[in-house]
Amino acid sequence: MQIYNSMTRKKEVFKPIHEGKVGIYACGPTVYNFFHIGNARPFIVFDVLRRYFEYKGYEVTFVQNFTDIDDKMIRRANEEGTTVADIAERYIKEYFVDAKALGVRPATVHPRATEHMAQIIAMIQKLMDNGLAYESRGDVYYRVKAFPSYGCLCGQNLEDLESGARVSVDELKEDPLDFALWKAQKPGEPAWESPWGMGRPGWHIECSAMSTTYLGDTFDIHCGGKDLLFPHHENEIAQTSGATGKPYVNYWMHNGFLNIDNEKMSKSKGNFFTVRDIAKEYDLEAVRMFTLSAHYRSPLNFSREMIAQAQSSLERLYIARDQLNFLLNAASDRQPNEAEQAFMAACVASKEKFEAAMDDDLNTADAISAIFELVREIHRLDATNVSREAVTAGKEAFLGMADVLGLLMKKEDGLDPEVQALVDERAQARKNKDWKRSDELRDQIKAMGYILEDTAAGQKVRKGV
């Protein structure tokens, strides 16, 4: 598999540190509010990354943190007259509600910053011991110039960064490039004990401390939105390698932005839709389909038409699944004929195309096209005379691919017994050429929200949308 590594700015063949295993760390949400559909993009694409590694037989450890202490959390708690812990608890719960509806599986571990103070403090201490950090009136700062490879991820050297930096008049820092590892407590803020007095961690250090806690000092893949490249991930490298003396991450993956009118969707600009908002209008699985319709590194423009389009593509996948079940019901145990052998070859070809697309830096757009090629073939099978072996091969290939993308998450629950009884009665009426009764039953079935089609192989019934 090839992965575009943001560090080297090229596609590289993925080689795991431990044979058959992959460790992935994804920067998760700050839990002060519902998340928006821009935030949903990394959650969805890196969930697919994880699923694809599993499909390929890897054992995956997928870690995604919750930032449960920072300025935004404190502001929100003050606005609502409650505690930061209360806000975190509430929005972590809500995260799981939305994630589930988007088909994003829970990570192997969801570490929270406030539950890893010991590891955070130990790492800061190590940086001080290594001469890379200094205390200043209860704050602790990272001494950027003491880490010569600073800028390796964003592709800038210290001089570039220095000339680009605004000269801040901060007498607490030795240098404007230095960043906070620990912040001394301000009145009314939650705080933890540390060797430098009461305070709380800076944002970047939590990801260094938690990723290495669960994945080791050096691990395979670190991902997040591309806005995190600098300074967040750059600082993570400086902190972690500065503390451990080892390389931090082998592959860096960054998703492109979800835009509205070609501008990044973000809470601060106010141009966002929460996943909750969208759920009022659309099936959230359509948001997943929409997100995966583009390559994860490309920008993706949000519009209602695009979501509606994704919804109808998704609908075509559900229809194909229903068709496969319909075919299976009608199938016989005979050997596949020539046309069906060609169909089975098409199943293999579409799976190969799917895997080639996914192996090429997770090209979900092409992977979806491969699935639709198979959908066209499925509809060519003759329901009046079909071999079970061929349909089964089709179903396996089709569902296997959909599952990697986390699509078709609605269960195949068959027809309600009540509807099934009407369908059976109608089959009998048709046999008896009682067309009047047959039409009455059809109207009744439709009125219950089902779509009914009479085909040469019998009645085809599915839930309408």
Binding site for Zn ion (CB under 5 A): 27, 207
Q: How far is the CB of 47 from ligand AMP (least distance, A)?
A: 13
The option from ligand AMP, Zn ion, none interacting with 231 (CB < 5 to 8 A, set by class) reads none
- By beta-carbon distance, which residue lies closest to ligand AMP? 225
Q: How far is the CB of 42 from ligand AMP (least distance, A)?
A: 4
Q: Which is nearer to ligand AMP, 253 or 397 (CB)?
A: 253
Binding site for ligand AMP (CB under 6 A): 27, 29-30, 38-39, 41-42, 224-225, 227-228, 255, 257-258, 264-266
Q: How far is the CB of 397 from Zn ion (least distance, A)?
A: 37
What is the C-alpha to C-alpha distance for residues 30 and 295, in angstroms, rounded to an integer?
Answer: 25
Q: Which is nearer to ligand AMP, 179 or 354 (CB)?
A: 179
* Paired residues of 199 in beta bridges: 184, 192
Residue 431 burial (CB < 10 Å; 0-12/13-18/19+)? Answer: exposed
Q: Which is nearer to ligand AMP, 76 or 442 (CB)?
A: 76
SS3 category, 6: coil
Alpha helices, DSSP H, located in 23-113: 37-55, 71-80, 84-101
The option from ligand AMP, Zn ion, none interacting with 23 (CB < 5 to 8 A, set by class) reads none
What is the C-alpha to C-alpha distance for residues 180 and 195, in angstroms, rounded to an integer?
Answer: 15
Q: What is the DSSP letter of 150?
A: T
The option from Zn ion, ligand AMP, none interacting with 38 (CB < 5 to 8 A, set by class) reads ligand AMP
String of DSSP letters for 272-289: --BHHHHHHHS-HHHHHH
Token pair, residue 287, equals 């948001």
Among candidates 124, 406, 451, which has minimal Cα distance to 288? Answer: 406
- Is residue 112 within 8 Å of 152, Cβ to Cβ? no
Q: Which is nearer to ligand AMP, 41 or 353 (CB)?
A: 41
Q: Which is nearer to ligand AMP, 224 or 406 (CB)?
A: 224
What is the C-alpha to C-alpha distance for residues 18 and 257, in angstroms, rounded to an integer?
Answer: 32
Indicate the Cα dihedral angle 400, 291, 43, 271, nearest 10°.
Answer: -170
Q: How far is the CB of 222 from Zn ion (least distance, A)?
A: 8
* Paired residues of 3 in beta bridges: 12
The option from ligand AMP, Zn ion, none interacting with 208 (CB < 5 to 8 A, set by class) reads none
Token pair, residue 73, equals 């959390």
Q: How far is the CB of 296 from ligand AMP (least distance, A)?
A: 9
Q: Which is nearer to ligand AMP, 221 or 228 (CB)?
A: 228
Q: How far is the CB of 262 from ligand AMP (least distance, A)?
A: 12
Q: How far is the CB of 265 from ligand AMP (least distance, A)?
A: 4
Token pair, residue 194, equals 């540390």
Q: How far is the CB of 6 from ligand AMP (least distance, A)?
A: 12
What is the C-alpha to C-alpha distance for residues 403 and 106, in angstroms, rounded to an integer?
Answer: 16
Q: Which is nearer to ligand AMP, 224 or 394 (CB)?
A: 224
Question: At 325, which amino acid appears?
Answer: N
Q: Which is nearer to Zn ion, 116 or 426 (CB)?
A: 116
Q: How far is the CB of 380 from ligand AMP (least distance, A)?
A: 39
The option from Zn ion, ligand AMP, none interacting with 207 (CB < 5 to 8 A, set by class) reads Zn ion
Q: Which is nearer to ligand AMP, 62 or 318 (CB)?
A: 62
Element (H, E) at 201: strand 199-201
What is the C-alpha to C-alpha distance for residues 298 and 83, in angstroms, rounded to an integer?
Answer: 39
The option from ligand AMP, Zn ion, none interacting with 202 (CB < 5 to 8 A, set by class) reads none
Q: How far is the CB of 222 from ligand AMP (least distance, A)?
A: 11
**Tally of helices (H runs) and strands (E runs) in the chain:** 15, 15
SS3 category, 246: coil
Pairing of strands 133-136, 179-184: unpaired
What is the C-alpha to C-alpha distance for residues 95 and 396, in angstroms, rounded to an integer?
Answer: 32
SS3 category, 59: strand
Q: Which is nearer to ligand AMP, 128 or 265 (CB)?
A: 265
Q: How far is the CB of 32 from ligand AMP (least distance, A)?
A: 9
Q: Which is nearer to Zn ion, 119 or 313 (CB)?
A: 119
Which position has the token pair 């009645």? 459
What is the C-alpha to C-alpha distance for residues 286 and 263, in angstroms, rounded to an integer?
Answer: 22
